[in-house]
Amino acid sequence: MLLDERNIIRNVPHHDAVFWMLQENSVILVNRDRKPTGVLQRVSDVRYEGPALRTARGWRAGLTYFIEKVELTYPLALTWQDGCTEFFKRNRIFLYHGMRNDDVIARGEVLPFAQPVFVEPEATLPLKWFVSMGAYSYVVGPMTGNFSVGRYTSIATNVKIMGEKHPMDRLTMHPITYHFKHAKLAHELGIPQEPFDAAGGPVTIGHDVWIGEGALIATGVTIGNGAVVAARSIVTKDVSPYTVVAGAPAKPVRMRFETDLIDLLLESKWWEFNIADVPPHWSDPRRAVRELLNREADGTVQRWRPNPIDLAPALFKASITG
């Protein structure tokens, strides 16, 4: 049973209860005739329970209702409904580059959530993949794996996260010695497995990063704020802020700005503002940031803190309520 903010009961027909009301520590269930059919008392922070009333359809002595808040557990899968597309439109989060939502994901498609995902408005997610992403960032096309993206970041087509690692310092790199997918065979052969972190950790992509077409990024890598990864580079190590890297493996080519300007940009955290509030001196970042900080000091602008949407529960609700 889902109790939505419009006081309508969704998803589960509950002995003809259609509406709900909250009165102090009680949830009252109401039918279409506006007659109470049940009164549930708060038992804990996550549970209400109580008897059905005689007006409930199918009432019988001893009939008890309960409502319990259930937390989502990951990994999980979401079946796409029309309400999901409308949810993205309402919240100005986009499913495909070019601010598109319509006809991107078909009704009935099943999409995975590997972990909790938090997304800000104006972000464009990778095609049919959900990752935490800040405002105005975008990925062109598909990109899968465990990664997160800050604000104002541009990720081109065919960018990929590397697959699992192998233990190169062991006698054998074969996963029969460590991987759960080979555990049954290892057990049958009497081979003990030794722990190894094959997944390698998430990729963290900062704010105002540009990643060129066809780049390949190793698991566990952090790409710093303002960095640039040249097209078709292979990134195997962390990239420092405002550094341009290229090659296979990727190595520093140059810094985007002088050291004192980089320090100013990092200290200002200008990406915490809405782009609409930033003075549009795009070719003079030093002037733009100084004016921005002056405006902040005199109260003309302030840091932009939209509430990131916890995407999985919000989408499950949208799939039911529209």
Which residues are the active-site residues?
A: 166
E strands, 126-200, are 138-139, 147-149, 154-155, 160-161
Closest CA to 103 of 121, 118, 88, 122: 88
List the strands of the sheet with 222-223, edge to edge. 147-149, 203-205, 222-223
Q: Which helix (H) or strand (E) holds 65?
A: strand 64-68
* Torsion sign across C-alpha atoms 74, 80, 82, 87: positive
Closest CA to 205 of 196, 186, 218: 218
Cα 167 to Cα 21: distance, rounded to the nearest angstrom: 58
Q: Which helix (H) or strand (E) holds 27?
A: strand 26-30
Cα 41 to Cα 20: distance, rounded to the nearest angstrom: 13
Cα 259 to Cα 2: distance, rounded to the nearest angstrom: 54
Three-state secondary structure readout of 208-253: CCEECCCCEECCCCEECCCCEECCCCEECCCECCCEEEECCCCEEE
Cα 254 to Cα 121: distance, rounded to the nearest angstrom: 33
Q: Which string of DSSP letters, residue by residue, matches 295-307?
A: HHHTTS-----PP
